[in-house]
Amino acid sequence: MSINNLLLWEKYRPRTLDDIILLPRIRNYFKDGEVDGNYIFHGDFGTGKTSLARILIGKYSKNKAYLEVNTSLDTSINNLRNEIENFCKYVPMMETESDIKYVFLDEYERASPEFQDGFKAFIEKYNSNVRFIISTNHLNKIEAGNKSRISKINFNCQNTEEEKYLKQEIYKRIMNVILPKEGVTMTKENLVPIITKKFPDFREILVEVQDFLKTGNEVATTANVTNKLKLDLYNIIYDKSADYEKIYHFLMSNFGADRIDVMISLLGKQFVDWSILERKNADKLFECNYIIADYTSKLETATDPIILGLTIVGKFRDILIG
């Protein structure tokens, strides 16, 4: 089949514990495939929260009674009282391996405050025969009473060892499983930058891989940025004569909306090293580092990356040249 007809992420969505890429601490926790309590799966997009929940509740088998609710689509308290309570109350008309039923609430951070408040009672009321799994990308948006009653599993890497392990597993899955099954090839030099850019979102990594296989266009990274462009970026920050229009055209011509993430990376460690070497206001770099740390996370939700890039450059100029 031509790569143009593939939806790689959907085609290779994990359906068993053997299929899914998990950090060792999470895999060990659920190595038997059993759900012996209620859980909040939290972490970044594409880290396997929803896939693991569906595997555990039995979505891909016929011997478990389960209900899946996307709380971003129906956030009302009425949904909790009706659909979920009806499922918890009544025995399904099917044979199951046990009397335990499973409820998976996806994107739970979007549930209304009334929904989350009412859910506390459900956890206690159906504790004997129902197991709940909640997934969220924003743990801080879940009501404290919910969090205090449910075990929390963090899908984000906690140290460099976990990050290295996950990147290696993603690389091996794509290079040794997915690409051979599709009858296509890809070099390490092309795959590694994609993983680095989109990590830890495995879904986005596969989307980028598919785009590369269709077009052959390399991923824009700091590795394929010329030294001249990097120095031009640094110098324009210190150029007092550069007005808004000049900086705007510089960013549009050299980065564009699709490469603002590369610009942000260039203003990280490489900019720190350059500033120290050139003795350029190194004492003010703490403030610049804060800007990069703050705005990197904002890039994911920015409606216009160019405006975000201009804002970062403007803040750097305010700090460094006044």
Predicted local distance difference test score (pLDDT) of residue 1: 39
Separation between Cα atoms, residue 144 and residue 141, nearest integer Å: 9
For the domain spanning 24-154, the CATH number is 3.40.50.300
Residue type, 64: K
Element (H, E) at 107: none
Cβ-contact 150, 55 below 8 angstroms: no
Predicted local distance difference test score (pLDDT) of residue 2: 46
Query: Which tokens belong to 309?
Result: 């890039």
Predicted local distance difference test score (pLDDT) of residue 4: 46
Separation between Cα atoms, residue 138 and residue 301, nearest integer Å: 14
Cβ-contact 104, 57 below 8 angstroms: yes
DSSP state of 3: G
> End-to-end distance of the chain based on CA atoms, in angstroms?
58
Predicted local distance difference test score (pLDDT) of residue 139: 93
Residue among 59, 75, 165 nearest 117 (CA): 75
Predicted local distance difference test score (pLDDT) of residue 111: 87
* Cα distances (angstroms) measured from residue 191 to each of 11, 53, 217, 259: 19, 28, 12, 18
Tens of pLDDT, residue by residue, the chain (322 residues):
344 445 788 889 999 999 999 999 999 999 988 898 999 999 998 999 999 999 999 888 777 889 999 887 766 777 777 888 888 887 665 555 567 899 999 999 988 888 898 888 888 899 888 999 999 999 999 999 999 999 999 999 999 899 999 999 999 999 999 999 999 999 998 898 888 878 899 998 998 899 888 877 655 555 556 788 888 999 999 999 999 999 999 998 888 877 888 888 889 888 998 988 888 887 889 999 999 888 887 776 666 888 999 999 999 999 999 7
What residue spans define the domains of the chain? 24-154, 170-215, 222-320
Number of neighbours of residue 268 by Cβ within 10 angstroms: 15
Separation between Cα atoms, residue 239 and residue 185, nearest integer Å: 45
Residue among 283, 269, 197, 207 nearest 234 (CA): 269
pTM of the model: 0.69
Predicted local distance difference test score (pLDDT) of residue 27: 96
Predicted local distance difference test score (pLDDT) of residue 72: 75
